[in-house]
A and B are shown apart, each in its own frame.
Chain A
């Protein structure tokens, strides 16, 4: 069974940093692109970042460029999101998701249960 388990959420002050982790199991982690998607309280889904299988390509939504860094450790089957210079608008549940890509489509399946990051003083 594919499992994605996020951790590292919590309360952080504006301007602070937080590192999220996602432990993957049940599939060949090193062969898949991976992503982070977030959801602010009561709001919709927002794609945040994606990383290629070997880490050689990374993509970010404009609002987090220069502040967030996605990375992965294929030996440990883990995905990370380092978040710096956090703002109140970064408050959200952060989901780790396996990105399925074939020759003509890209979709997220499955998703982890999410971890809540609250940016507040």
Chain B
């Protein structure tokens, strides 16, 4: 399997924009997915197939892809967005990998 690398932490002021990157060699060939996990809670899907937003997820969450890097963008960050964020992808052998995780702190 392969690895997905994320920055350990991102800090952002309220109403500013947070960008979280996820890098992996397989990302040009496989879609990426993003999950938000708040303390003591299960992960929640916030972006699928690089840039699609599930119903119920606020519009301030968006995703993009370029080469071996995908990016989760949170525009107009709110205090409630403080959480850990994980990217995820699949490989062709039926296995799955998660990124190393990024802690988003709202200052």
Instruction: Report yes or no: A111 in contact with B43, Cβ–Cβ below 8 A.
Output: yes
Please name all residues of chain B whose beta carbon is closer than 8 Å to the beta carbon of A27 when the two chains form the complex: none
Interface 0/1 of B76-107, CB less than 8 Å to A: 00000000001010100111111111000000
Instruction: Report yes or no: A107 in contact with B94, Cβ–Cβ below 8 A.
Output: no
Least CB separation from A60: chain B residue: B95
Decide yes or no whether B12 CB sits under 8 A from chain A: no
Contact of A108 among B88, B93, B97, B101 (CB under 8 A): B88
Contact of A109 among B54, B86, B99, B100 (CB under 8 A): B54
Please name all residues of chain A whose beta carbon is closer than 8 Å to the beta carbon of B97 when the two chains form the complex: 47
Please name all residues of chain A whose beta carbon is closer than 8 Å to the beta carbon of B61 when the two chains form the complex: none
Please name all residues of chain B whose beta carbon is closer than 8 Å to the beta carbon of A57 when the two chains form the complex: 94
Contact of B31 among A50, A105, A111 (CB under 8 A): A105
Q: Shortest Cβ distance from A42 into chain B, in angstroms?
A: 11
Please name all residues of chain B whose beta carbon is closer than 8 Å to the beta carbon of A35 when the two chains form the complex: 96
Please name all residues of chain B whose beta carbon is closer than 8 Å to the beta carbon of A113 when the two chains form the complex: 41-42
Question: How many of A's residues come within 8 Å of B, CB to CB?
Answer: 24
| Contact A105 to B101, CB < 8 A, known contacts A50-B94, A59-B94, A95-B42 | no
| Contact A50 to B96, CB < 8 A, known contacts A105-B31, A106-B90 | yes
Least CB separation from A48: chain B residue: B96
Instruction: Report yes or no: B42 in contact with A114, Cβ–Cβ below 8 A.
Output: yes
Decide yes or no whether A8 CB sits under 8 A from chain B: no
Cα-based distance from A46 to B27 in the complex (angstroms) = 18
Instruction: Report yes or no: A61 in contact with B44, Cβ–Cβ below 8 A.
Output: no
Contact of A59 among B49, B54, B95 (CB under 8 A): B95
> Considering the complex of A and B, which 9 residue pairs feature the smallest CB-CB distances, nearest first?
A47-B96, A59-B94, A111-B42, A45-B98, A44-B101, A109-B45, A107-B33, A106-B90, A105-B31
